[in-house]
Amino acid sequence: MKAIRYYRYGPPDVLELRDVDVPAIDDDEVLVRVRAASVNPLDWHFMGGRPYLVRAQAGLSRPRARATRLGVDLAGSVEAVGPDVTEFRAGDEVFGGLDDRGTLAEYISIRQDGALLAKPAGLTFEQAASVPVAGCTALQALRDKGRVRPGDKVLINGASGGVGTFAVQLAKAFGAEVTGVCSTRNADMVASIGADHVIDYTREDFTRTGKRYDLLVDIAGNRTLAETRRALAPKGALVTVGGPDKGRWIGPLGRPVRMALLSPAVGQRMVFFLARLNKADLGVLRELLEAGKVTPVIDRTYPLGQVARAIGYLEEGHARGKVAITV
């Protein structure tokens, strides 16, 4: 089968399309023929080995003899199942994610109790594959960390990206009044997916409008902590789910350290978190997708052989919604 592999850290051109063996499956595993995947910022962090903290999983250098897999999101069809598998059968259309990576390939194996569910009805494989990482991140940021409630005033900074487009729609589904922050070219799109208000950051600074929000989900990370707090209600919550890759050692992780130190001393709650894929949250997202309350936004689609181009485009920081991969 064809699969993306890399043998050293670096820019997208370290990625190679290789012929590798189809993975074997254990008794409780499912073999999935991948039809689509998507790329996420975490892919370029793993590929580039930055911040250096991510290298702890594989050592400070990567031996050339060892290939590393890439990709978390997937959608496809079940090819075969182990004898202990009861939840799936051959031919089922599924979507989900693989924590230990490797979905940028023609086949993957995954435990039946992993983050895998029947594909939402009415979605293409590309749409379904765009959901897991970005959708779970947005859901957990709003529901679990932000504790969003109906009527809350919610601001999404970075509303036009992969996580942002899901966050806008999920916040609306939870009954919030949503303000999205994005560039001029994305303002109409953000409004079209449900934002009640759109702030064009090239024309207006959301930290200086005088408006206060009950919950601010910061995906862009392009304002200082002091500036961001100006837009928070006195008892508001700031949830940070990403940020620019500044610094080789801890990258965007310096900000949450400052948040953790400051949060106990002020009335505003400040949280940084990394999302975790799980079957239960995929189920919540599937219900919302099938109900038409959430629709994946896909900017571009690339074939498996052009994953390097896809990640290069994502790294530029201008993708509208998700970047999908057809397999």
Residue 181: give the domain boundaries. Answer: 134-272
Residues 6 and 114 in one domain: yes
- Calculate what percentage of the chain has a pLDDT beyond 70: 87
| 182 lies in some domain | yes
Residues 152 and 50: their CA atoms lie apart, in Å, by 36
Q: How far apart are CA 192 and CA 214, in angstroms?
A: 23
198 and 109 belong to one structural domain: no
| CATH number of the domain bearing residue 240 | 3.90.180.10
Domain count, the chain: 2
Q: pLDDT of 264-297, one tens digit each?
A: 556 788 898 889 999 999 999 999 999 999 999 9
Report the relative pairing of strands 298-303 and 322-326 from DSSP bridges. parallel
8 vs 51: CA distance, rounded Å:
15
> pTM here?
0.90
Q: How far apart are CA 58 and CA 102, in angstroms?
A: 15
Is 285 inside a domain boundary?
no
Q: Please report whether residue 165 resides in a domain.
A: yes
> Do 162 and 254 have their domain in common?
yes
pLDDT, position 52: 46
Instruction: Kindly state the percentage of the chain with pLDDT values over 90.
Output: 76
In a domain, 249, yes or no: yes
d(CA 129, CA 95): 6
pLDDT digit string, tens, across residues 182-236: 999 999 999 999 999 999 999 999 999 999 999 999 999 898 888 999 999 999 9
Sheet holding 177-182, edge to edge: 197-200, 177-182, 153-157, 213-218, 232-240, 269-272
**Would you say residue 290 lies in a domain?**
no
Does residue 283 sit within a domain? no
Task: Return the higher-pLDDT residue of 258 and 70.
Answer: 70
CA angle 172, 176, 179 (to 5 degrees): 80
Clarify whether residues 149 and 267 are in a common domain: yes
- For residue 35, count CB atoms less than 10 angstroms from its CB and return exposed for 0-12, middle for 13-18, buried for 19 or more: buried
Residue 161 shares a structural domain with residue 120: no
Residue 18 Cα distances to 5, 68, 178, angstroms = 7, 11, 44
Residue 46 domain flag:
yes
